[in-house]
Structure 1
Amino acid sequence: DISAVQPKAAGSSLLNKITNSLVLDILKLAGVPTVTNCFVVPMATGMSLTLCFLTLRHKRPKAKYIIWPRIDQKSCFKSMITAGFEPVVIENILEGDELRTDLKAVESKVQELGPDSILCVHSTTSCFAPRVPDRVEELAVICANYGIPHIVNNAYGVQSSKCMHLIQQGARVGRIDAFVQSLDKNFMVPVGGAIIAGFNDSFIQEISKMYPGRASASPSLDVLITLLSLGSNGYKKLLKERKEMFSYLSSQLEKLSECYNERLLHTPHNPISLAMTLKTLSEHQDRSVTQLGSMLFTRQVSGARVVPLGSVQAVSGHTFRGFMAHTNNYPCAYLNAA
C-alpha cells in the first residue's frame, strides 16, 4: 500500500502525508473544492491511469471495454491496452473549427455493448487544439444514468481553471470516480509523478492499495519542496500569469497568421493551446509543412508543433488515420502553440 505508514521510516511516512495534504489543498484552490482524497504516485500519467483501470477490474469482472473519445496521444491509449482492456474509440465531431465529443455516439455504444461489459468511460480535459476538452459534464451524466465508472485524464489541467471547473461540475451533476494529473506539467518538477484524486474517499484508498509494494519518495519530495517554496499565493500568481500569457500568445499568433494569409482557428473551448492554419504551405506539398516543423525544432522552438494532413500511426495494434489531428480528416494542416 503506497499510502500506508511505514513504522521503520517515520520521516518519509510523514513527508508523504504532508505532501498529499498539500496537493489536496492545491486541487481545491485550483477549482475542485469538493475533492475528498488524493495521493501522489511515482509514475507518470499513463501508468497512473492503468492503476485506476486495474482497480476497477476487481469491481467489474465482466467488463472488457473502455469507452474513449479519441485524443491522439499514445500513452493514454496504451494505458488501457496495458491494463488488458479493449479501447472503443469514439471519433470526435467537427463543430466550426473545434473537435468536440460525440455524445450520441458514446450513448449508442453504451447501449450496444451493454453497461456491464464496459469498465468505464475514459475522458480527457487538457488537449491540443483544435480538439477541445471533452464534454465532461454530459459524459458524467451518461455514466451516472447507466451506472458506469468515469475516469478523467486531466494531465495538464490543474493549471487551467476551465478544466478544473469541468471536473467539479461533472462530479456535481453526474459521476466522476477519479481524475489523474501530471506533476511535471502542473508543478514544474521532474518527469515521473502524478496525482490520482477523486470524490469518493474509499475508492481512492482502493487505488492506492492496488500499488504493489513501496515506491520512490522523489516525486513527493520534489512537489513538497516546490509547494512549500511557492505557497498558495505563489501558485495562484502562477495560474494568473499563465492565463495572461495565453491571451498574449493568442493575440500575437493571430497577428502572425494574418501576415501570411493564414488564420487562427476559432477554439474558444480550449483554454490551454491554440492552432493556426498552414493552408499556404500545404497547397505546395505536405513536405513543406513537415519541413516547417523540423525548422522550428532545430531552432529550439519547443512550444510549437506542426500537424500535417493524412498521417497514419499504429499504436498497440490500432491504426489512427490523421494522427495528431484527433480525427481522420481535419480540413487543413496547422501549427499548434501552447
Structure 2
Amino acid sequence: MATGMALVLCMSTLRLKRPEAKYILWPRIDQKSCFKSMITAGFTPVIIENRLEGDELCTDLEALSNKIEELGAQNILCVMSTTSCFAPRVPDKLEEIATLCKTKDIPHIVNNAYGLQSSKCTHLLQQAARVGRLDAFVQSTDKNFMVPVGGSIIAGFDKEFVELIGKTYPGRASATPSMDLLITLLSLGSSGYKKLLADRKEMFEYLQHNLSVCAANAEERLLNTRGNPISMGITLSLENDSDGKLATEIGSMLFTRFVSGTRVVAPGKENTIGGYTFQNFGAHCNSYPTAYLTAAAAVGMTKADVDTFISRLTKVLAKVKGVKSETCGAVNDADPPIKDSETTSSRLQGDGHE
C-alpha cells in the first residue's frame, strides 16, 4: 500500500485500543492523501491551523493543547503530525507534540512520507520518541528509495504495536513493492544509499543558491524557510494578478517544458475534500501573504537536473515579467536536451500520488 492507506491501517489499529475515540487532531498540511486517510478510516479530522512565523508556517502548539482540553483526551484517537512537507510549511514541532501526547496519554502518528532521506527529519523522530510519545511513523518507498509508486514502510519504536498493525491488514498484499525495494537496496548497498543521502544534501544547497539568484534577478526573493530541509520556495509578486491566474500560468508553462515537480500556489484557491472546505488550498493556511513557487531537492537529484530546472524557470519568469532572460540568472541559454521523461519532473519532487 502507498502512504495514505498505510496511515489508514495505523489508525484502524489504534481503534482497537481506543474504541470510543472519534477525533484526530491534525496540524494542517495541504496534501490530499493524508487528509483523506483520516476520513477513510472513519474518524473526524480536527484541523489545527498553522502559525505564521516570518515566512514559515509552524505548529500552533497552543491551539493543539486547547483543542485537547476542549474535546477531552479520551475522545481523541491520535495526533497526526508531519515531518516532510512543501515550503513554506516546515516540519511539525515533534518533540513538543510527543511530550504533550505523553502527558495527555494520546497516541501520536507521524506522516513521514519524504522524511527518510533527510537526517533532520529522522532526528526529529528519534528525539520525539526519546522525550515523549511516538507510536508509529509512515514513509513512502518511492519518495525515499526511487522505486515505483505503491509501497510504504510503517515503523515505530514499539515492536509489539508495529506487529499489531501488520496483523490488522486483511488478507494478502502484493509482493511487488517489497521486491522493488529489496532489489534497489541490494543494488545500492549501504554505502551506495548513504552516498545518495549525502549527495542530496549537497544538491539542496546547490538548488537553494541557484534558485535564490534566479529569484533575485527576476525581482523576487527566496522564502526564508530554514526549518524545511527538503523543500524551498520563491515569491511570485506579479502585477495585476489578484486572482492568481498569471501565477498558476507559470506552473503550466513549466509543465510544458517538462518540469512537473514544482508547485505554484496562488491566494484564493478553494478546495473541498471529503466535505471539508479549505481556503487557499496548497498554502497550508487560509491567507498566506504572497503567491509562491516551490521546488525540492529529492534523493537522486543531480546538478544537471538543477541546471535544467533553473534555465527553464529563468526563461519562464523572463517571459511572464517581460525582462531579458539573460538578466534572470540563466545557467544556460539553451534548454538542455531531455534524456527521459522523468529527468526533471520526478527529482524536483512533486505531489505524486500524495
Tell me whether the two structures share a fold, i.e. TM-score over 0.5: yes
1:78 to 36, 58, 71: 36
1:279 to 231, 237, 250: 237
Contact in 1 for aligned 2:266/2:291 (Cα 8 Å): yes
CA distance, structure 1, for counterparts of residue 109 and residue 186 of structure 2: 29
> Aligned-pair distance for 1:260?
1.1
TM-score (norm 1): 0.86
Contact in 2 for aligned 1:281/1:289 (Cα 8 Å): no
CA distance, structure 2, for counterparts of residue 119 and residue 285 of structure 1: 39
- Flag the 1:112–1:285 CA change in 2: closer, same or farther, 3 A: closer
> Aligned-pair distance for 1:281?
4.9
* SS class of match (1:314): strand
Contact in 2 for aligned 1:153/1:179 (Cα 8 Å): yes
CA distance, structure 2, for counterparts of residue 119 and residue 247 of structure 1: 39
Contact in 1 for aligned 2:9/2:168 (Cα 8 Å): yes
Match of 1:142 in 2: 100
Q: Which amino acid aligns with 2:164?
A: E
Percent identity for Structure 1 against Structure 2: 66
Q: Which amino acid aligns with 2:169?
A: Y
Match status 1:267 vs 2:229: no
Structure 1 residues 1-338: aligned runs within 5 Å: 43-281=1-239, 283=241, 286-338=244-296
* SS class of match (2:115): coil
- Structure 1: gaps of 5 or more residues: 1-42
CA distance, structure 1, for counterparts of residue 224 and residue 239 of structure 2: 20
> Aligned-pair distance for 1:302?
2.2
CA distance, structure 1, for counterparts of residue 242 and residue 94 of structure 2: 39
TM-score (norm 2): 0.83
> Aligned-pair distance for 1:286?
1.9
Q: Which amino acid aligns with 1:126?
A: S
> Aligned-pair distance for 1:305?
1.6
* SS class of match (1:169): helix
* SS class of match (2:13): helix
CA distance, structure 2, for counterparts of residue 303 and residue 258 of structure 1: 21
> Aligned-pair distance for 1:280?
2.7
Contact in 2 for aligned 1:281/1:288 (Cα 8 Å): no
Contact in 1 for aligned 2:140/2:153 (Cα 8 Å): yes
Of structures 1 and 2, the one scoring higher in RCO (CA 8 A, sep 6+) is 1
Paired residues in the alignment total 296
Contact in 1 for aligned 2:238/2:246 (Cα 8 Å): no
* SS class of match (2:225): coil
* SS class of match (1:128): coil
Contact in 2 for aligned 1:130/1:274 (Cα 8 Å): yes
> Aligned-pair distance for 1:330?
0.1
> Aligned-pair distance for 1:181?
0.2
CA distance, structure 2, for counterparts of residue 260 and residue 219 of structure 1: 43
